[in-house]
Amino acid sequence: MKLRTKSWLAVTAAAGMVLGGVSPALATGTAGPTEHTDMGVTGDAVMEHLQKISDISTAHAGEGFRSLGTPGYEEAVEYVEATLEATGAFDVERQAFEVEQQTFDTVDVRVDGEKVEVTPASLTEGTTEPLTDIPVALPVDDDYSDLAGGQLGCEAGDFDADAEGALVLVARGTCSFGEKTQAATDAGAAAVIIYNNDTANPDEALNATLGERIENGAPTAAVTYNVGSDLIAAVQEAAEGEALTADFTLETEFVTSKTWNVIAETKAGDHDNVQMFGAHLDGVAEGPGANDNGSGSAALLASAEALAEQPTEVDNAIRFGWWGAEEVGLVGSTKYVESLGESELGKIKAYMNFDMIGSDNYIVGTLDSDGSDVPIPDDVTVPEGSAELEKVFTDYFADIDQPNVGTDFSGRSDYQAFIDNGIPSSGLFSGADGTKTAEEAGMFGGTVGEKHDTNYHQPTDTIENVSQESLDIFAPAIGFAVHTLGYELAEEPTDPPTDPTDPPTSPSDPPTETPTDDPTDEPTERELSIDPQTIEAEAFVGDEGVQVTATGCTADTTATMTVDPQNGEIEKFEQTAEVGEDTAARFGVRGLEESKVESYIGTYAVTVDCEGGDPLTGSFEVVAAEEGPGAGGGGGGDLPRTGNEALPLVVSAGALIVLGVAMTLGSRRRRKS
């Protein structure tokens, strides 16, 4: 699907203000697109790759599906690599790293002799031996019904002497799970239970992660809101001097697993101006992870294939990342960002994240980087330019009348490491464990009160439960974003070309003269004209430029001009133009960046290759002010500017822009007249 050019020129320019950069190179001769498109990326194309990923996962069901350290994950990595390499358009790299992985053996918690259903916290320490007959204690708080205050256990001061050697109960909320465990450990607790704060889903299990191992930390497990409330009531009802007691066993082992990210970057494009798109490829051991996150991974593959089939090469390099070990703490994306030096990080101008796009009770969500729908958490810093990235999606959806909502920009997925390093970020999200509201149901359909993904982290996260309708909405949006960040637009010609299907008109009268036997004119002499041959740098980057005309070429053929800068600042480039009936091909060259005027000073060798004889050669020189005669002159009109060409934040030496297209259009108009 193509969108209206006029509305999208503004979006491209806005995004370019924070994302753009121009390398000291010359523009290529092939004209780029005049409007952004979704590149034909469809939900069906995504589903084809998702089926492959799903088949790999289910084939390894007995080995943990596609989770960290499994054969299923490695096979999925191989599938992604093979798909990308088959396009021939990308340099593909597998980045290896190690992750400390945790397994659990016996987990048994009993309070007053009754078994309590718990979920061990990820990265918790275990018990070296079973804890028996330890007291159960609460933090100091005057109201345990408000899920606030001291019962959150965010500081050691929230506990009194009763916590020493006890199993303590703390509520989810405000601070991280790791901070709760650290505070309880500092207070002398022997073990910790964190209970959920989801009163709307009181029987919802809590999967907590401590973020990192805590040295000598108290073993920690999590329970539902209802279980936590019952435990609090039991502690409060215990007779004075007869504290409730517990037995607590949590056996765990940490092993080191080797895993991988897959990174693919277009061979074409400006590699100092990288636009990045990512999705995590791993899943959880509980299920095949079709939606989480086979869907996002498959969408990147479909977009990469579509990009490889575009008729012109990208202007900005596109880099895709498939992350490993996301489900155990965003490890893969974090390792990748940490592996980049300051210089390489500076080349990444934008990051887009896609973590679940096929939820069965879906919403159409954009990561709300401008905070217009969902307030930005206090501990999240939003890099400048993120709002412009979100606008790529919101304007796209507005143009096709697709309702959408902003979702938490909280760092809960792989964009966290990028925003922590100041890289503008946004993305799309179809929903996970959030609950669908009546307003959302009115916008997207589905069931009010149910999770957005009713199969989240479950064995039922299968391809059969992925919403095709959701994929059909998200897939072209992702393709459109890739195209928008990859290409700078060229304007359409103001004069449409003559319809080639129209038959030529016949003259009303026969020729008045009979052709003579011999030609009356000598063939046009082959010659290369460069005007001026010496130009001051200030004129070269102004409205003036250098005009190159090759005469004596065969009419109605294509001529190629090659400019080979000798100053080391600018890259060699080619440009093509049509040869008119006057046997002339016309080109023009001028500097683009006035702020980098000195970088253009030097000699430029020019070669024009056209039918009708040997290549024509010459040169021109750009000099500092008053260095030589002939400064000034006329070089012809500019090519249409795209959004990124006029950016205030350009940081490179600048680029030369070719004027051959304008010259060619002029030749066509002369022939028609």
Q: What is the enclosing helix (H) or strand (E) of 475? A: helix 468-486
Prior bond of 510 cis (ω within 30°): no
DSSP, res 209: B
For residue 458, the tally of other CB atoms under 10 A from its CB is 16
Between CA 252 and CA 106 the distance in angstroms is 8
Is 344 one of the catalytic residues?
no
Strand partners, 114: 111
Count CA within 13 A, CB hemisphere, residue 458: 15
Question: Between β-strands 534-536 and 527-531, what pairing exists: parallel, antiparallel or unpaired?
Answer: unpaired
Q: What is the enclosing helix (H) or strand (E) of 559? A: strand 558-565
Question: Between β-strands 573-578 and 270-280, what pairing exists: parallel, antiparallel or unpaired?
Answer: unpaired
* DSSP-H helix ranges across 5-124: 5-19, 43-59, 71-87
In degrees and rounded to multiples of 5, residue 127 shows phi and psi of: -90, 135
The DSSP annotation for 169-195 comes to EEE-BSB-HHHHHHHHHHTT-SEEEEE
Between CA 412 and CA 326 the distance in angstroms is 10
Prior bond of 293 cis (ω within 30°): yes
First to last CA, the chain: 36
In degrees and rounded to multiples of 5, residue 476 shows phi and psi of: -65, -30
Between CA 134 and CA 151 the distance in angstroms is 20
Q: What is the enclosing helix (H) or strand (E) of 562? A: strand 558-565
Handedness of CA 480, 481, 487, 491 (dihedral sign): positive
Which one is catalytic: 81, 326, 388, 536?
Answer: 326
Type of residue at 193 = I
Of 98, 122, 73, 101, nearest to 339 by C-alpha is 98
| CB contact at 8 A, 251 and 106 | yes
Question: Between β-strands 191-195 and 167-171, what pairing exists: parallel, antiparallel or unpaired?
Answer: parallel
Between CA 559 and CA 552 the distance in angstroms is 11
User: Would you name the residues annotated as active-site residues?
Assistant: 326
